[in-house]
Structure 1
Amino acid sequence: MDRKRISATVALAAVLLSPLGAFGQAMSHARAKRLQEAHDRRHHHKAKIVGSSVAGGAVTGALVGGPVGAVVGAGVGAGGGIIANKIRKHHGIKHKMRHGY
């Protein structure tokens, strides 16, 4: 009888405390995201990545298609830079969560 009661108490505690684990993880994700965004703002990472992608796209487009190609290339480069920045930021957040910053 005693073993059943202890098992039931442990099972009940596990069920009741499981939402707290998810809450703790969400808080660490929020903190990691906040730290990553603050770091990026200080170092202007988004502007550097998107700006260099725009410049590279414009140069490539100008070589291939002249002035119209430069405009199209700049647009394509901007889109690629935004996607690359999002991936880099996501990786940084996951890295901070994994290492507990």
Structure 2
Amino acid sequence: MNMMKIAAKVALISVVSLPLAAGAQTYREHEEAKHAQERSDARHHTKAKVVGGSAAGGAVIGAVAGGPKGALIGAGVGAGGGLLANKARKDHDVKKRERSGRY
């Protein structure tokens, strides 16, 4: 009877863990997707576009609100926000590449 319980538990654990093992990405696959995304971003100057556009938008809003000093502060805040937005965009795109399997 005890052997039957052990066999049942082993069978249950293997069935439950099967979906987890099937969808797991390896470290190498993640690194390949990350590298492919970084190369694509470098080729299209994506980081510069996102950060520069955010800085310009922040400078415009800051200039309207506070003059030249406000433009400088707004540009700094916009650039910081652009860096955060670029990081989130890049992480999202890497996950998309992992799901699709195209590196």
TM-score category of the 2 structures, normalised to the smaller one: 0.7 to 0.9
Say yes or no: does 1:78 pair with 2:64. Answer: no
Match of 1:38 in 2: 39
Coordinate RMSD, CA, aligned: 2.0
Tell me the distance in 1 between the aligned counterparts of 2:72 and 2:86: 21
Unaligned runs of 5+ in 1: 1-6, 15-20
Match of 1:57 in 2: 58
Q: Which amino acid aligns with 1:38?
A: R
Shift of 1:25: 1.0
Tell me the distance in 1 between the aligned counterparts of 2:66 and 2:26: 50
Q: Count how many residue pairs are aligned between Structure 1 and Structure 2.
A: 85
The ranges of structure 1 where at least 4 consecutive aligned residues each deviate by more than 4 angstroms after the TM superposition are: none
Shift of 1:79: 0.4
Tell me the distance in 1 between the aligned counterparts of 2:46 and 2:35: 15
Deviations 1:31-84 (A, max 9, x none): 000000000000000000000000000000000000110000000000000000
Secondary structure of the 2:26 match is: helix
Q: Which amino acid aligns with 1:36?
A: Q
**TM-score, normalization by structure 2:** 0.75
Q: Which amino acid aligns with 2:28?
A: M
Match of 1:90 in 2: 91
Tell me the distance in 2 between the aligned counterparts of 1:25 and 1:98: 12
Tell me the distance in 1 between the aligned counterparts of 2:53 and 2:80: 12
